[in-house]
Amino acid sequence: MKLPPGKIPIELLNEVVFKNLGIKRKEVAVGPKAGIDGAVIDLGDKSLIVSMDPVTGAFEKIGWLAVNVNANDIATFGVEPTFMFSSILLPENTDSELVEKISSQIHNAAKELEMAIVGGHCESTLGLTSPVVVGCVLGFTDKKKYVTAAGAKPGDKIILTKSAGIEGTAILASDKEKILKNTINSKLIQDAKNAYKKISIVKDALIAYKTGGVHAMHDPTEGGIIGGIHEIADASKLGVIIFENKIPIRYETAVICKYFRIDPLQLISSGALLISSSPQYINKIIKKLKTKGIPAKVIGEFLKNIDQRIIVTKNGRKKALARPKSDHLWKALRS
């Protein structure tokens, strides 16, 4: 079986990866599971939340992204990210200036989130053609004071903060700027590059969790909004219905996606947050987010029947919500 770029298929996770997990330990309250981007380890009256993700397919802001995408995963538990380890893998013969660039990006991003970098590794790696940064972030909370992506309930409304394709928009505008300039004006490209400023969802997640009524949250990374929704549904063993015309897409995202002939709903979307909430808390959560300058909309609902995965298209037609085979960022980067 040849693998597509990005995350491996869920079938391979279940059939191979999740069957090779070492011994079982009583401290592991939440272990590896499809759709859940972190683990929970109980330590007395506290719980340690841990998450790890690499950043690949990006170059200009790779260190900054490594901090934020990993911090985002911790925040989806309703927990503040606190500590980070980083592993920086560089192509052979890399200039030392790149080490300084990536390290300073990690430092500045961590300072913004009041996180400490507590360890890691850095090397020049045989066979690499572009840098890879792997991050591992930790946060502490009182025991059981968190949510996971497996907690969504039938009838929960799905709130989306910000818009689709935020991270993918920023990456493509930065790393493909030269070819985009041939047909797209420089102001739009700069607006798209500024999407990097919206990639943190730490504030979004902590506000929503503290408001109440939140059963699950998820950071839609690879596979975009559609991939993220499938992952919550997988983890919670639910079906879902979403409405295409309710999903916000910024103008610059739409233009760049049209140029590369890709779907913004299947484009890596760090910066957006999916929230599964009791219907009676929806207005409170959206209002609280908006008072902090974070736009949010209801885009769908979770269903009891796990086999019902539906999207209502812009013309009102219902069809199956197809699972992304690979993030559309990879299609664009290959062009």
The single residue listed with the structure tokens 């910000």 is 162
- Grade residue 335 by pLDDT with cuts at 50, 70 and 90: confident
State in Å, rounded, how far the first CA of the chain is from the last one: 24
Q: Which residues pair with 274 in a beta bridge?
A: 160, 218
| CATH number, domain 23-142, options 3.30.1330.10, 3.40.50.300, 3.65.10.10, 3.20.20.220 | 3.30.1330.10
- What pLDDT was estimated at residue 233? 97
Distance between CA atoms of residues 101 and 208, nearest Å: 34
Arithmetic mean of pLDDT over the chain: 95
Residue 310 φ then ψ, to 5°: -125, 140
Beta carbons within 10 angstroms of residue 186's beta carbon: 10
DSSP conformation letters of 178-192: HHHTTTS-HHHHHHH
Question: What confidence tens digit (pLDDT) does each residue in 84-124 have?
Answer: 999 999 999 899 999 999 999 999 999 999 999 999 999 99
Question: What does the pLDDT read at residue 37?
Answer: 87
Structural domain spans, the chain = 23-142, 149-334
pLDDT (mean) for 205-231: 96
What the block records as the tokens of 257 is 């996606």
Domain 149-334: which CATH number of 3.30.70.20, 3.90.650.10, 3.50.50.60, 3.40.50.10540: 3.90.650.10
For the segment 149-177, the average pLDDT, to the nearest whole number, is: 96
Cα 157 to Cα 32, 103, 253, 278: the distances in Å are: 26, 40, 25, 7
Using CB atoms within 10 Å of the CB of residue 185, give its burial: 0 to 12 exposed, 13 to 18 middle, 19+ buried: exposed
Residue 117 has a pLDDT of 98
Pairing relationship of beta strands 132-142 and 46-55 according to DSSP bridges: antiparallel
Q: How far is CA 181 from the centre of its chain?
A: 28
Average pLDDT value for residue range 227-238: 96
User: Mean per-residue pLDDT for 197-219?
Assistant: 96
Distances (CA, A) of 100 to 61, 62, 91, 113: 13, 12, 15, 20
Closest CA to 219 of 38, 8, 97: 38
Q: What is the pTM of this model?
A: 0.92
| Residue 56 CB neighbour total at 10 angstroms | 18
Q: Report the pLDDT value the prediction gives residue 59, as an integer from 0 to 100.
A: 83
Q: Is the pLDDT of residue 57 over 80?
A: no
Tokens of 210: 């503290």
User: Tell me, what amino acid is at 320?
Assistant: A
pLDDT computed for residue 8 by the predictor: 86
Region label for 197, one of left (φ > 0), alpha (ψ between -120 and 50) or beta (otherwise): alpha
DSSP code for 272: B
Q: Which residue has the tokens 């992506």?
A: 149
8 Å CB contact between 311 and 319: yes
Amino acid 83: pLDDT: 98
